[in-house]
Structure 1
Amino acid sequence: CSITEAVTILGNKLRDYQGRFNTTHLLALCDYFHNTFILHYKLYQYVLCQDQEVNLTLTPLAVYIPPQPLPLAEGMDRDVWQHQQKVAELTMAEVQKRTDVLLVKKALYLEQKHMLQKTFQDISMQQRQGLHRE
């Protein structure tokens, strides 16, 4: 039916209930009907009265469940875990320092060896020059 017919039906129904409700309630009911149904009347007609084209798109969805957590008996206190992490960090730092010290020792050893060779070469040159003079 048209909007005018719907409003006429509403008016007839409101007259039927005029004795049961006061004027304020009837006006509130009329406002509610107008704000909800009448404003969207053409939308209701379009959706409910015309055949709609159905466009159904299916997309497969793979759902992966998370891995099973470890039992609580294998867990540890947060403070203990943090302590273990700090110990591991300190251990790694100690290993790095030892490696650095070894590299410095090796570099110093090579430098000392090079200086000794240079000194011996200089001494042997001086001795040769001294022999040539004699």
Structure 2
Amino acid sequence: MHQKHCVQYQDLWVSLATNTTVSLMMASTHTLQEISRMKRDEGIERLSGCFHWTEFDGDDKRQYLHQEFVYENVMFAVTRGLSWSAVGQVANISKHLLPKLKGLKTSEVICLVKDHLSQIEPRLSTAHHAALLDYIVKTYVPHQRLYQAVLNGETGVKHIRCELEIESPPHPRPLSEGTDAVEWEHQRDLKELSLAQSRKEAEIKELKETAEAQMMATLQTSLNRLPYEGRMSMQEVEELLHSFLQSQGEIIMESLMKEVCLTEDLLSQKSQLVQRHRTNQPGLPGKNCVATPTKSKKKRN
């Protein structure tokens, strides 16, 4: 499959090169030498005059991206020491290469770039061919999604306007209508205590219902142990009653112990609330002490 793509791209390149209806302007050696000595922006502008940029006609942003792509490849070829003839061919190849990358996968991009570089005459050395291939692929592939977005989508900025209504904060109520901080905390604690008491009462009620259900189950078990026919001896009756009363007592004792624990927890919370309330109460004013002047005794001569 990979070789098939390469053959298809090679045929496409040959047919394009032999098409006499396509008019191209080639950059001369003198022009390329001038571009290599210019600053980047000046070099891109000078290089743009060497070709007809018909691929993205009417879209300045896409055309500039296209020109940047060609310029970067040209400057890399210059720094690698390629002949000026080869540099000119790199410019021509890069110019036609970028539009063809539209919608291609990474493997297809590599195959197409490799095939285009093999068309340079005289053939590049293995080192130069590998360096150019690596540079072009590393320039394009990491930013492939960005390039594809530019090649496929619109580059114009869309302004989305949304109206938001800003509401001013509510006017605060007068301080005279407020609640003292200590009193507010006390009311909050009372609410929490009331909720805790409701929960404890619900748990105690559930304990009693559970104990009652267990006692009824124990009674039913004891009744099931009674014989349907015949009589029971006194010893058997005593053992049955003793077992029944013992199980009933254990159930009641366990329920009472749990109820006591829940009640102690509730009393502890009430005690903490009372203690906290007393701590927050303002202290009583102390008695004013009035100093009584002392009379000084005069010494008699």
What is the TM-score with the length of structure 1 in the denominator? 0.47
Select the structure that is richer in helix. Answer: 1
State the TM-score, normalized to the length of structure 2. 0.22
**Which protein has greater RCO, CA pairs closer than 8 Å, 6+ apart?**
1
